[in-house]
Structure 1
Amino acid sequence: MNSARAQTTGRARLPPEVRRAQILDAAEALLQVHGGLPLPLDELGRAAGISKALIYAYFPDQHALANAVLSRRMEAMMAAGLAQAAAEPDLTAAALACADLYFRDVAAAGPVVHIVLRDPFMAGRVDAETERQRDRISRRLARAARRDLRLSAKEAVAALSLMTTIPEEAGRMAKAGDLSLERGRELTARLIGSSLRALSPEDG
């Protein structure tokens, strides 16, 4: 009876963690459609198969929703070894490993990290722990770039920011089906490697 009633209403009782993941999946997809925040909650509810009121039961406001999306993506990359990759003593090894992890995340979920972090809607509202994770990764790579490429602090940050667009754009293309995962990873590695070689100071 209960099963039949759930099928009739189209709203089964799901465990909270499953329902939360369902909302986040829908939010990630809509972020790529709209390209920014805040998201239209009516549309998000339809995509997740729930009411707008139920969204508020899990996320009290859109900042909380965006932070949950961002945190999930960062946690996935950290679990895949992002911190260890950034800690590689060799700059090229660290940059290639980090770029590959970011490419794979964008190819799987889209550029949601970029969208959330860069959106003016989130200015001053990004979760502090997520910001600390990002800053730790950035600082490690920037220090290595200053050391190995002999760049100033601002130049190192700028160079790394520009190189981040390589795995991001390749990941977008792979997610859209315009590039295979294998080819996307290969191109990302080659372009990151050539960028680092072009920036390397000449000996002597």
Structure 2
Amino acid sequence: MAARQRLSPEVRRRQLVEAAARLLLERGHLPLPMEALADAAGVSKGLVYGYFPSQWDLFNAVLLEELAALEADGLDQVLAEGGLAARARACVDLYLRHVAARGPLVHYILRDSFMAGHIAPDARKLQDRLLRTFGRLLRRELRLPPKEAIAVISMVVAMPEEMGRLVWQGELQLDRAREMAGRLVDSSVAALRPS
């Protein structure tokens, strides 16, 4: 029998994060049994705890990787260019393509009550920046009060999450999802414009 190769801490950490992401996509909710996490990574529970003292730490690592991928795909650029409709359309398209390619991990982590109050500060900072950017645009261009602006943002974010999930599951074509999401954003902005 061949000896098992010892992995570097960075490689092992990556292995654990990837296994956690796969298992979360399979199950769709948190928390996950530690035995299942360890089995998915092919390691002991003790090793998982050695890298991530809690599932909150582990799933924050998954979340931060997902957010880093969104930033690498140009999130800052689409947030900075154009008016409300252009930015909303670009952000929705970016997020839809992200979910279609990688699955609804961000949604699962941010919306699960298990993670409530345990989101990493860096992740919360990005989420707050997105809310502030679109909140200001909604208040300025559509003259919406802050609470209504947040409600609109929550509803608009649900579109790319759901359409991206359908693409990821093979139930909807990406081009069709992108077209529908763009039209929904455009019609939402148009419907909310003051007359």
TM-score range, shorter chain: over 0.9
Q: 2:2 matched to which residue of 1?
A: 5
Paired residue for 2:25, among 21, 26, 32?
32
**Alignment length, in residue pairs?**
195
Letter matched to residue 133 of structure 2: R
Matches within 5 A, 1:13-52: 13-52=6-45
Q: Does 1:67 align with 2:64?
A: no
For structure 1, list consecutive stretches of 5 or more residues without a partner in the other structure. none
The RMSD of aligned alpha carbons is: 1.6
Alignment of 1:188 onto 2:185: no
Aligned to 1:174: 167
Unaligned runs of 5+ in 2: none
**Identity across the alignment (%):** 50
Distance in 2 (alpha carbons) for counterparts of 1:186 and 1:20: 38
**Matched letter for residue 193 of structure 2:** S
Give the equivalent residue in structure 1 for 2:96: 103
Tell me the amino acid that sits aligned with residue 18 of structure 1.
V
CA–CA separation in structure 2 for the residues paired with 1:96 and 1:19? 38
Higher relative contact order (CA 8 A, sep 6+): 2
- Which one of the candidate residues 140, 143, 166 is aligned to 2:136? 143
Distance 1:33 1:142 in 2: 34
Q: Which amino acid is 2:147 matched to?
A: K
Judge conservation of contact 1:28–1:110 (CA < 8 Å) in 2.
no
Aligned partners of 2:144 and 2:38: how far apart in 1? 48
Distance apart, 1:64 and its partner CA:
0.4
SS of structure 2 residue aligned to 1:143: helix
Aligned-pair CA distance for 1:51: 1.9
Alpha-carbon offset, residue 99 of structure 1: 0.7
Deviating above 3 A after TM superposition, structure 1's stretches of 4 or more consecutive aligned residues are none
Displacement of 1:16 in angstroms is 2.6
1:85 is aligned to 78
Rounded to whole Å, the distance in 2 between the matches of 1:195 and 1:29 is 34
